[in-house]
């Protein structure tokens, strides 16, 4: 008789697949947005929306197909990531559709967002079916670097939108934000690079005032990344991508080397670079000025940051109710993209906003847990990188909307309007699920030893 006692969260050998748990959670992840959709319709028109059946069937079909593919091709994957992503995506569609009902906010965007969400789920399924082992990505470390740089540099050659050059235009398809895909590809490069260089970065250093200072030759990578992030900020005036790009590298560097000095260097370089660029770049100056003076009058009204604050204040603890807020007063397309979190805060209140942020936190926690459970160093670093990129994006968007930091122009993952964003984030969740499936999969039984058969104890 044998027994196995699991005393750590890292050892998941023999863990159950939890697919039925995932299915049960998916039912709630589909029903909650459908009830929210009906609620908005009752609030706006006093009737159940005509498209509720199609919305319910569409969201349910996407979730069902995704679950079946995970059950067949990644049976030991984390059971919570897919339901959380489905719930966030479904609630994002509801909020965008709710804002579509306001004629002052331009044309309807919910149908396009549903189409891009479908493409995102399709990419998610393709990754699970064709990417059998995440370690294959390690072979393409330097190719990933080249592809990521091309994606980051490409927007320089296209006209800017609202002062930032973060879009490329493809005839017949529309606009694409390549930075959303670059964050995944560059995480692959960092994971592969740090796999090779982490010993040199961790061990070859000198101690000074309690900090381990890296050698000059080892400072090269972080200086190059710092310079590239500044170039993005200067030439594309994209504060969000710059912060995400540099922050991701520092986080992965810290995890790989366990040296606090890298965090200190990263913060100093980041602050120094941001201050230097803000002294001459007008777009960044405007962002910072609006952040420091949100109540200043502009064009006959207050800034968007102040309007978002009014929305949060109007919502209070429990909110005004779905479909009954006034966040439409925020100018332009912002309520559906950058400032959609203001609509969340106004209509479902602080309680609902905290619930949405907890969903993001739970998704990030499952990614970090996947990194802890991964059995190979590349998988650990890649899971940390992807989770870190997701966490940084949530922080800079939520921080910008709430006035904690200057607004960056990035989109809230899954929630805000944006085809590139929703497709890239479904791909990110797909890779994390693939790593978690490998990490939770039962280890193969050890091969029988021939020595055991040949060595026998013979008692007299």
- Span 7-47, pLDDT tens digits: 344 444 556 778 899 999 999 999 999 999 999 999 888 88
169 has a pLDDT exceeding 60 = yes
Higher pLDDT, 134 or 338: 134
Span 235-243, mean pLDDT? 74
Range of weakest confidence among 367-376, 396-405, 427-436, 442-451? 442-451
Identify the DSSP state of 161. B
Cα–Cα dist 378/188, whole Å: 9
Structure tokens at 438: 């490998």
Q: Is the pLDDT of residue 125 over 50?
A: yes
Query: What residues have CB less than 8 Å from 357, skipping those under 6 apart?
Result: 394, 398
DSSP 374-419: -SSHHHHHHHHHHHHHHHHHHHHHHHHHHTSS-------TTTSS-H
The DSSP secondary-structure symbol of 300 reads T
Look up residue 237 and give its DSSP letter.
Answer: -
Q: Are 124 and 432 in contact (CB under 8 A)?
A: no
Name the packing angle between helices 349-373 and 304-315 (round to 10°). 100
401 within 8 A of 407, measured Cβ to Cβ: yes
Q: Is it the case that residue 432 has pLDDT exceeding 50?
A: yes
Confidence category of residue 193, pLDDT binned at 50, 70, 90: confident
pLDDT confidence band for 130 (50 / 70 / 90): very high
Long-range CB contacts (within 8 A, 24+) of 63-66: 63/26, 63/29, 63/30, 64/26, 65/121, 65/125, 66/121, 66/124, 66/125
| pLDDT for res 190 | 87
Q: Over 80: is that where the pLDDT of 364 sits? A: yes
pLDDT at 78: 93
Long-range residue pairs from 147-154, CB within 8 A, at least 24 positions apart, any chain: 147/185, 148/182, 148/185, 148/186, 148/189, 149/228, 151/178, 151/179, 151/181, 151/182, 151/185, 152/178, 152/179, 152/182, 152/228, 152/232, 152/241, 152/245, 154/178
Contact 80, 366 (CB under 8 A): yes
Residue 12 is predicted with a pLDDT of: 46
Which of these ranges, 69-73, 195-199, 319-323, has the smallest mean pLDDT?
195-199
Q: What is the pLDDT of residue 451?
A: 58
pLDDT in tens, 253-306: 888 877 777 777 777 877 777 777 777 777 778 888 888 888 887 776 777 888
pTM of the full predicted structure? 0.88
CB 255 within 8 A of CB 196: no
Q: 208 φ, ψ to 5°?
A: -145, 120
Question: Quick one: average pLDDT of 224-241?
Answer: 73
Average per-residue pLDDT for the chain: 83
Which of 167, 162, 49, 158 is CA-nearest to residue 108? 49
Q: Is the pLDDT of residue 153 over 60?
A: yes
Contacts 24+ apart (CB under 8 A), 323-332: 323/39, 323/40, 323/41, 323/42, 323/43, 323/44, 323/98, 323/101, 323/347, 324/43, 327/99, 328/99, 328/102, 328/104, 328/105, 330/304, 331/301, 331/304, 331/307, 332/162
| Residue 11 confidence (pLDDT) | 45
For residue 245, the model assigns a pLDDT of 79
Mean pLDDT of 402-430: 89
The string of pLDDT tens digits covering residues 409-419 is 788 999 988 88
For residue 352, CA distances in Å to 107, 140, 318, 341, 434 come to 27, 42, 7, 11, 31
pLDDT at 2: 39
């Amino acid at each position: 008789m044998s027994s196995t006692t699991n005393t750590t969260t890292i050892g998941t050998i023999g863990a159950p697949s939890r697919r039925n748990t995932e299915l049960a959670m998916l039912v709630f992840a589909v029903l909650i947005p459908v009830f929210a959709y009906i609620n908005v319709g009752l609030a706006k028109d006093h009737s159940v929306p005509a498209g509720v059946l199609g919305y319910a069937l569409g969201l349910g079909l996407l979730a069902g197909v995704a679950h079946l593919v995970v059950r067949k091709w990644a049976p030991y994957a984390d059971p919570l990531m897919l339901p959380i992503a489905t719930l966030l995506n479904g609630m994002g569609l509801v909020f965008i559709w709710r804002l579509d009902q306001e004629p002052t906010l331009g044309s309807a965007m919910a149908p396009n967002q549903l189409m891009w969400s479908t493409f995102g789920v399709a990419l998610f399924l393709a990754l699970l079916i064709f990417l059998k082992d995440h370690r294959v990505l390690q072979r393409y470390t330097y190719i990933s670097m080249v592809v990521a740089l091309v994606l980051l540099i490409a927007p320089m050659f296209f006209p800017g939108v609202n002062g930032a050059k973060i879009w490329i235009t493809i005839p017949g398809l529309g606009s694409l934000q390549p930075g959303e895909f670059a964050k995944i590809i560059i995480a692959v490069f960092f994971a592969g690079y740090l796999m090779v260089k982490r010993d040199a970065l961790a061990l070859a250093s000198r101690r000074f005032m309690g900090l381990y200072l890296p050698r000059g030759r080892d400072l090269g990578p972080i200086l190059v990344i710092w310079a590239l992030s500044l170039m993005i900020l200067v030439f594309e005036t994209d504060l969000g991508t710059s912060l995400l790009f540099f922050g991701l590298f520092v986080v992965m560097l810290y995890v790989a080397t366990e040296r606090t000095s890298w965090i200190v260097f990263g913060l100093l370089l980041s602050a120094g670079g941001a201050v230097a660029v803000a002294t001459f770049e007008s777009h960044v100056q405007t962002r910072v000025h609006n952040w420091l003076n949100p109540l200043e009058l502009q064009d006959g009204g207050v800034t968007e940051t102040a309007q978002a604050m009014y929305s949060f204040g109007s919502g209070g603890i429990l909110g005004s109710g779905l479909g009954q807020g006034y966040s439409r007063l925020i100018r332009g397309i912002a309520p559906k993209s950058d400032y959609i979190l203001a609509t969340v805060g106004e209509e479902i209140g602080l309680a609902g906003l905290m619930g949405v942020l907890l969903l993001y936190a739970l998704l990030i926690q499952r990614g970090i847990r996947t990194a802890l459970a991964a059995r190979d160093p590349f998988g650990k670093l890649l899971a940390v990188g992807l989770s870190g990129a997701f966490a940084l994006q949530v922080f800079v968007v939520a921080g910008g909307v709430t006035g904690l930091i200057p607004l960056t122009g990035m989109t809230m993952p899954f929630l805000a309007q944006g085809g590139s964003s929703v497709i890239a984030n479904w791909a990110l969740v797909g890779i994390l699920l693939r790593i978690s499936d490998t990490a939770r999969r039962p280890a193969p039984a050890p091969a029988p030893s021939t020595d055991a058969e040949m060595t026998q104890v013979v008692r007299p």
